[in-house]
Amino acid sequence: MTGTTQSVTQPGAARGRLVWASFAPALTAGATVGVVVVLIQVSFAALIFSGDLSTHLPAAVGVLLASSVLMLVAVAALSSVPVMVAVPQDTVAAVTALVAVSIAHQLPGPDRDTFLTVVAALAVTSLAAGVVLLLLGGLKLGNMVRFIPYPVVGGFLAGTGWLLVKGAIGVMAGIPVTLRNLSELFDPVTLARWTSGLVFAVVLFAALRRRPHLLVLPAIVVGSIGLSYVGLAAAGTSPEEARGGGWLLTGVPSRHLWRPLTASAISHADWSIVAHHLGSLLPLLFLIVVALLLNATGVELAIGRDVDLNRELRAAGWANIASGVSGGMAGYQALSLSVLGPKTGISSRLVAGSAAGVCAVAILVGPKFVTYIPTPVVGGLILFLGLGFLMEWVVDASTRFPRADYLVVLLILGVIGTFGFLQGVGAGMIAAIVLFVVNYSRTQFIKHELTGAIYRSKVERPADEREVLREHGDRVWILELQGFIFFGTANNLLEQIRGRVLDAGTRPLRSIVLDFRRVTGIDSSAILSFEKILQLAVSRGISLVLTEVAPSIQRQFDHLGLTASRGVRFFADLDHGVEWCEDQLLAQAVEGRPPPDVLLADLETTLPSTVDMDRLRGYLEPMQLEAGEPLVRQGEPAEDLFFIERGRVTVLLELPDGTSKRLRTMMPRTVVGEVALYLGAPRSSTVVAEERCTLYRLSRTSLERMERAEPALAASFHRFVARLTAERLVDATRALEDLLR
């Protein structure tokens, strides 16, 4: 029997040890997190329920610990990351403390109704935060944190740091920190209380900077509490005397640390005062969303895996609703507490679960332990959190941010410190708008700045017309715009155009081309700047050409009256817009001149005077094309080239989807098809007549016959083709160089 019993019990014991070994790290980490959460929530309760409200401190601790339990459990169950930890946070506590002070002034005295009114404000904020977070998560807007100006967030968090520092000193001094009672802070006894807390905060801050481990915080806190009682014993001071002197937390202990918020309790809250303070509480929703997403992103980087931000929003939403229903405070995912597990190789939801167990045990222990916690330790812990914000967003940010962004941080901090948090939020919004306008106005909204002398349309023109465009092309000014155009960038565009138009040192413009191919949209106020551009152009006799305008932008122009009837030229793309400008320049340049000798005029200029042009014509075959008739087809063998005498043809690239794209348009006195002929390659494009055309064909057979019978004439012809190719290459190189500037 003994042997049988041993054979059964030993494997069971081994399995038990194995199970414990697998769960022990997560439970230990969770217990550590739980202790830290209890200490921090006691500090937050002391911050919010200070002054006349301090008599309700034990009940306030119970409220925050209950919120912690609900949030830890909810987020542990719903988060996309097993180790995610969520609790009421310092940002919420700092702002809520301001509201609590105001409520206490409106309902003076340690009345229970005042306490319930503050709790009601906490609950409303939690419920509102929960609804907003659920809505954002449901709409999959988790990535919107990427669009929030970083300096504005930094300013809010710096202001939160200041509120925490100010509140911490008030908790330790036992009086609110204002300019009016500043001298009271330097009373010897009061000074000793808050300076001892300051020393504690500085030691804690330095220790965590040197060794950022989660165990450092509870170790220093427990050690400081022990030293406090050693000091009291050495001075012969009893706990009651220390509590009366403000060295220990005060409060009227009740039988229970926390009770659920009942309908009867809700009815005792002054809801008119809660409604009055909603304006101060609503900006908290913005900070909660931003801080949550930033913390979740930080966890993502720390654990090296993707975090579903939308799922985190929904998890925090349900957690805040649960907290609000119980009368608790709002909160969200905590970065430092969430990364404890991954840093120690733990990935289990037991971390948050066991932390919730520690908080629940603290609630069950009862309220009496709260009144034995030293005030300098609680205040010092709040002070430590505030100093962390100020160090990161005021000291460290001075070297991390550009000067303008850093000034925005200081502005928001100054407004919050001087006038209040709500005013700081307003100043932050204004600063964000101004910062965006200034920064976006500095962006390069002109992709390329070109002239008609460099950038040419896809129209192949004869030599004399190309020379005219080289000489007068700078009178066509081409601006390729990009991005979203609002009143700032549009005004810059207006000033740039005005400067060019009024510049006496440059040739007068004939046309201004604005290309909208890369423009994503236009602010309605920016349209007025285009109205002024049109007025300026008309007053100077300049044509305003707009190309590739999106339908939505076109409707905005039409609404303001910027239409073709007022002289604005609209074209489907930049190529056709520049073509129209070139035609206007050429029409003005050739006005009054005699028409050139059409047939082979360019070729004749390259031939020696001893060569008879009639002999060249003998190798050419005249032909006619009707509008729409193809001259060559893409993919055919190249056996000839063509001289265009009259009319124009278009070179089209046929695409796999059945559509085609214009590559070139060939004008009279130009050549088409020479490249494929010389390379002996198939036709790379299709050539179609745009109108009735007269052409001359030179076949490969005729060219070879010319080379054998009249080498001098053939050499002149080859020289002509080489010059034509070289000129095209030079024009393309100039345009490319200008684009790369």
Judge if 571 and 658 occupy the same domain.
Answer: no
The Cα 492–Cα 529 span in angstroms is 9
pLDDT at position 550: 93
Q: What is the mean pLDDT of residues 163-171?
A: 87
Both tokens assigned to 696: 């001359």
Average pLDDT over every residue of 656-669: 87
**Residue 15 pLDDT level (bands cut at 50, 70, 90):** low
> Distance between CA 395 and CA 165 in Å, rounded?
15
Domain of residue 461: give its range: 446-589
Q: pLDDT by residue (tens digit) across 307-323?
A: 898 999 999 999 999 99
Residue 19 lies in a domain: no
Domains contained in the chain, number: 3
Domain boundary among 374, 402, 437: 437
Task: Please say if the pLDDT value at position 56 is more than 50.
Answer: yes
Instruction: Identify the pLDDT of residue 640.
Output: 92
Q: What is the DSSP letter of 374?
A: B
Higher pLDDT, 589 or 136: 136
Asked if 585 and 701 sit in the same domain, the reply is no
What is the distance between the alpha carbons of residues 36 and 87, in angstroms, rounded to a whole number?
11
pLDDT given for residue 262 in this prediction: 63
**Quick one: pLDDT at residue 448?**
86
Better-predicted residue by pLDDT, 211 or 609? 211
Q: What's residue 679's pLDDT?
A: 86
Cα dihedral 206, 208, 210, 215 sign: positive
In terms of domains, do 58 and 125 share one?
A: yes
Q: Is the pLDDT of residue 22 over 70?
A: no
> What is the pLDDT at residue 8?
45
Mean pLDDT of 184-191: 88
For the purposes of burial, counting CB atoms within 10 Å of the CB of 619, is it exposed (0-12), middle (13-18) or buried (19 or more)?
buried
The average pLDDT across 115-142 equals 91
397 and 377 belong to one structural domain? yes
Confidence of residue 21 (pLDDT cuts 50, 70, 90): very low
In this structure, is residue 373 part of a structural domain?
yes
Give whole-number Cα distances, 711 to 78, 145, 337, in Å: 88, 75, 90
Cβ-proximal residues to 265 (8 Å cutoff; 6+ apart), any chain: 116, 119, 327
Task: Give the pLDDT confidence score for residue 157 in this predicted structure.
Answer: 80
Residue 160 CB burial class (10 angstroms; 0-12, 13-18, ≥19): buried
For residue 321, tell me if it sits in a domain. yes
The answer to whether residue 721 scores a pLDDT higher than 90 is no
Does residue 427 share a domain with residue 560? no
Q: What percent of the chain has pLDDT over 70?
A: 86
3-state secondary structure of 593: coil
If asked whether residues 636 and 583 sit together in one domain, one would say no
Q: In the numeric block, which tokens belong to residue 212?
A: 């950022």
pLDDT of residue 18: 44
Residue 486: name the closest of 517, 432, 524 by CA: 524
Same-domain pairing of 491 and 633: no
609: amino acid identity, one letter: S
Contacts of residue 301, Cβ cutoff 8 Å, sequence gap at least 6: none
pLDDT in the model for residue 3: 44
pLDDT at 699: 92
611 and 494 in one domain? no
CB 401 within 8 A of CB 409: yes
Inside any domain, residue 267: no
pLDDT category, 235, cuts 50, 70, 90? confident
Q: Is a pLDDT exceeding 70 seen at residue 123?
A: yes
Instruction: Give the pLDDT band (50/70/90) at residue 301.
Output: low
Give the Å distances, CA to CA, from 113 to 72, 107, 460.
29, 8, 88
Tell whether the model's pLDDT for residue 602 goes beyond 60. Answer: no
Identify which of 268-277, 513-522, 715-724 has the greatest average pLDDT.
Answer: 513-522
For residues 530-559, give the mean pLDDT: 92
Assess if residue 7 is contained within a domain.
no
* End residue of a domain, out of 437, 467, 489: 437
Among 532, 561, 589, the domain boundary falls at: 589
Task: Classify residue 659: in a domain, yes or no.
Answer: yes
Higher pLDDT, 28 or 84: 84
Q: By the 8 A CB rule, do 551 and 430 touch?
A: no
Q: In whole angstroms, give the CA distance from residue 105 to residue 87.
A: 28
Looking at the structure, tell me whether residues 369 and 492 fall in a common domain. Answer: no
Task: Assess whether pLDDT exceeds 60 at residue 455.
Answer: yes
pTM to 2 decimal places: 0.61
% of the chain surpassing 90 pLDDT: 27
The closest of 57, 159, 133 to 386, measured between CA atoms, is: 159
76 pLDDT band, cuts 50/70/90, is very high
Same domain, residue pair 139 and 54: yes
CATH code for position 525 = 3.30.750.24
Query: Between residues 436 and 112, which one has the greater pLDDT?
Result: 436
Whether the predicted pLDDT of 406 surpasses 70: yes
Residues 626 and 576 occupy one common structural domain: no
Q: Spell out a b/e string for 502-538, using b for 16 or more CB atoms within 10 Å of the CB, else e.
A: eeeeeeebbbbbbbbeebeebbeebbebbeebbebbe
Nearest to 393 by CA among 428, 426, 423: 428
Residue 20 in any domain: the answer is: no
| Mean pLDDT of the residues in the chain | 83
Closest C-alpha to 410, from 592, 584, 157: 157
CA-CA distances (angstroms) from residue 112 to 102, 103, 118, 275? 16, 12, 10, 19
Residue 305 lies in a domain: yes
User: Does position 466 have pLDDT exceeding 60, yes or no?
Assistant: yes
Place of tokens 């709002």: 330
The DSSP output letter for 401 is S
> Residue 1 pLDDT > 70, yes or no?
no
Same domain, 644 and 733: yes
How do strand 660-666 and strand 459-460 relate by DSSP bridges?
parallel
Q: pLDDT tens digits for 613-655? A: 677 888 999 999 999 999 999 999 989 999 888 899 999 989 8
- Binned at pLDDT 50, 70 and 90, residue 263 comes out as low
- Give the CATH number, domain containing residue 699: 2.60.120.10
- Residue 669: pLDDT band (50, 70, 90) is confident
The predicted structure's pLDDT at residue 125 = 93
Nearest CA to 353 out of 81, 126, 88, 75 is that of: 75
